[in-house]
Chain A
Amino acid sequence: MMTAVCCVDLCKTYRQGDQDIKALDHLSIEVARGGFVCLSAPSGGGKTTLLNAIGGLDIPDSGEVYVNEQRIDNLSKGDLADLRLRQIGFVFQAYNLIPVLTAAENVEFVMQVQGVAAGERNEKARAILKEVGLEGLESRRPAQMSGGQQQRVAVARAVASRPALILADEPTANLDSKTSEGLMELFLELNERHGSTFIIASHDQRVMSYAKRLIRMLDGQIVEDIDQRAA
């Protein structure tokens, strides 16, 4: 099976005051293409650090990171930006959208930077917004939308350019339970329909219940790796 993400012996230490915090402690992980993985850990357990390392947002102190079989931990900032632009979609916990752009423009943003022609990206943006249930809200700015709607726009943006890998960091943290469930249903649907690999960092039980594979982390190490489809 083709590998979407492979991390080998990752270490990352942060300094907090006088203390060194091991966010990743010799962690290795492999995620197959089309996977739907939830990283679960208590706060400070290293899930966001791992997500950032996979997304090329942060460089580990040691170890190797591969995305779609390309080693990325030794890439330059410019190459990492290019990788994120073309191969990875991000959904963050909050502040996901650019406030001065409308919902449609936010969805188009990544494609616009990629250089996709206006007609094509507009069509794609409208289609994906419809898919995430935001038809008719294309012209609204983030401030005119609810938190759930904003997260849906962020999801639409993350999947609009069909990246192979979508990373979501606590995507339901600021959402009520109904909206959270709707978002997870959407993730699952997009995963199944488009075959994109999803890695979601969360300590929300509802999110974990949707994951096909659940990886529990503690102190920067994987303590449990469960294939939930089998369960």
Chain B
Amino acid sequence: MRLFMVLFQLAWRNLWRNHRRTIVMLSAISVGVWAMIFMTALTRGMVDQMIVDGIKALPGHVQMHHPNYPDDPSINNPLPISDDELEERFGDAGFLAWASRVKVPAVITSERDSRGITLLGIDPAAERDLTFVNYEQVDGRFLADENDNGIVIGRKLAASLETQIGKRVVVMSQDPDNDIADRGFRVVGLYEASTGAVEEAYAFVGKRTAQKMLRIEGGTSEVVFVGDDYRDVDSVYESVVAAVDKTVVVNRWYDVDTYLGTMMNVMDGFVLVWVVVIFLALSFGLVNTLVMAVFERVREIGLMLALGMKPASILGQIIIESMLLLALGLAIGDALAFASIVPLSGGIDISFVGEGMEMFGAASVLYPKLYMNDIVLANVVVLVLGFLASLSPAWRASRYEPVEALAKVG
């Protein structure tokens, strides 16, 4: 411990010996660390939003279907469990929310145009905590109950169909006998979603109304369950699996929407790569600084070796010097990151690139997400790689022969 204090004292004072160089290096490390964390927070925010929107856009955290439904998502593959049985099994299961839906492909036609959509027959009360639609922000009104005869469509779909609230549209699909099942609906509301693609894809009607139209009294297509955290859905999944038999299949959201699932994993990998790439750029400066520091102190190192300091202590001194530099840079970089991200937590309007972002499902407002794991990762990567980068100059310093080092002209 006493030796460590000697080395620490020497390292700290040597750090400020050439304070201009140290400040330049500190600035580089701080900005690098800030960039690591800030960019990670922006990207995390964007991907998180995409995943949350994606999950809200239907998958929920866990889904239950007829075994054939994933391959043929039609009304011919209804769930073999009635709503009453579902209520009995999951009513008190403690999920954050759950709901059964009718979900079929359909065609919607206005007097001007027609579009392919996914028709959702829902119970608005049960669906409130599952859906991406904010009922209170719907133009017009949202569905009142599962017997509501109106239809709620997205703003973009309404624009495409050149229809509006109060006008009638016709929805066509197939019944279980593969006959045309159609019905006229009055548009009662227009919802807004984070992307135009979602607004064009989904139309909501009352569950009972959809069942009547499709001639599947009491039938549903899927049940969706939501837990506390989309990153940890295993407990929800296991509860659902425990309550059903082989007549249904149960999937986690990332199995249902593999694109979203992959995105989450890719994001974790991306953060690591990003942090390492920034550090590699920094490491050149760090190694250069240490090499210069060692080069300038060859005689001093020779003196310390001559006085009886062991090579391992010289190695330790240079590494401590490097770690101090990195720790200071990290502290400043972390503080800068906090200071710049917290004020932006209300969201950054990126609508000027909104259309481009929509192509891959991102919203036009970006909410940076600062995760402790990402901060820890950035800090650990910088310290570990910094330690490795400083080994070479530190090793060189410790290998000096005292006589040769003392004879250096400097």
| A interface residue numbers (CB < 8 A to B) | 52, 55, 57-58, 77-78, 81-86, 88, 90, 92, 95-101, 105, 109-110, 112-115, 157
Contact = CB atoms under 8 A, between A and B. Distances in A.
Contact of A57 (B10, B14, B299, B403): B403
B303 A58 contact: no
9 contacts: A52-B403, A81-B305, A81-B309, A88-B308, A92-B303, A92-B306, A95-B303, A95-B406, A101-B9
A52 B303 CA distance: 13
A82 B368 CA distance: 56
Given A98-B303, A112-B2, A113-B3, A85 B17 contact: no
Contacts of A78: 310-311
Contact of A92 (B6, B305, B308, B406): B406
Contact of B307 (A58, A77, A84, A95): A84
A153 to B, nearest CB: 13
A90 B2 contact: no
Closest 3 CB pairs of A and B: A85-B308, A100-B13, A84-B308
Nearest to A108: B6
B304 interface: yes
B interface residue count range (under 10 / 10 to 19 / 20 to 34 / 35 or more): 20 to 34
A86 B308 contact: yes
Contact of A77 (B2, B10, B13, B311): B311
A113 B6 contact: yes
Contacts of B313: 113
B333 interface: no
B349 interface: no
| Most central of B5, B10, B13, B406 by chain A CB within 10 Å | B406
Interface of B is mostly: helix
Nearest to B408: A95
A99 B307 CA distance: 15
Nearest to A81: B310
B300 interface: yes
B54 interface: no
Contact of A101 (B3, B13, B311, B406): B13
B32 interface: no
A6 to B, nearest CB: 21
Contacts of B406: 92, 95
Interface in B284-300: 299-300
Interface in B1-31: 2-3, 5-6, 9-10, 13-14, 17
A82 to B, nearest CB: 7
B398 to A, nearest CB: 10
A94 B281 CA distance: 40
Nearest to A100: B13
B59 interface: no
A150 to B, nearest CB: 12
Nearest to B309: A113
A190 B13 CA distance: 32
Nearest to B7: A113
Contact of B308 (A52, A97, A105, A110): A110
B308 A58 contact: no
Given A57-B403, A95-B406, A99-B17, A115 B304 contact: no
Nearest to B300: A98
Contacts of A113: 3, 6, 307-309, 313
